[in-house]
Structure formats: C-alpha cells, structure tokens
Amino acid sequence: MSVEATVPTAPAPCRIVVCRDCCCGTPKVSGVDHAEQTARLAEAAPVRVSACLDVCERANVVVVQPSAAARATGARPVWLGLVNDPAATEDIVTWVRAGGPGVAAQPDILELYTFPPPRRAPAAPPSRTPGVPPADVP
C-alpha cells in the first residue's frame, strides 16, 4: 500500500484571525452571534481563533492576513475592528473570496472598520545580577 502526497493545486489563500478572548467573542459584545460569525468567515478562508489581541476597545476584531504571494509583493495584514454586524462580516467574506489584501481592492465600506495594528511593547532588557557588571563591560 502506498501513500501519495497531496500537492496543492492552488496557492495558499489569505487567512483570517478572529480575536475571541476577554471581550471579543463574549457577551460583552452583545447582539452578535460570535460562533456564526466565525463559521461564516471560515467559509471564505482558513480562520485562526486568537487570544486577546490587546485592542478590546475595538471588539470584535478581525485581522485579514494576505496570502504568501501577496505578502511577497508587499501586502500587509489589515486589522478590522467593531465587526459587530452580519453586513460587515459579509463584506469581509466577499473581499477575502476576491483575494484579500494585495490582490483585491479593499471595499470602501471596510475603511470604516480598518485601524492600524497596535504597537508591541519593546522587549525588556535582560535582568542582571546586582554587583555583576554586564557582559559587554570590561
């Protein structure tokens, strides 16, 4: 019995990240069927459910990541906040099915939801033992 490797016939699509932690995807954001939203997005592209993305004031947050090919040409992830109604979800689905960031023009309506990604805090300097000079000091 032989096992044949499956060779993908199409390039990897863009991907979607949905925040589902302390605010996004919880009853704190009322009037949204969070499971249905995630399922609907998953019909368009692979979806990864993330822990808190640290932008709770913009719950529900969806990040559309470009395909590898689009990323290679300079496309960057698009962060969308306050995605709290089915129409917004459908706009995202339509855009993702058309190719998403770097492939298809972002629908004008999604500009209302777009925001810059949060800046990450700089890494803390390594701690040092009191009385012992850093390694780079002679």
pLDDT tier at 3, thresholds 50, 70, 90: very low
Closest to 79 in 3D by CA, of 118, 45, 117, 111: 117
Which residue's structure tokens are 């629908």?
107
Q: What is the mean pLDDT of the chain?
A: 86
**pTM of the full predicted structure?**
0.79
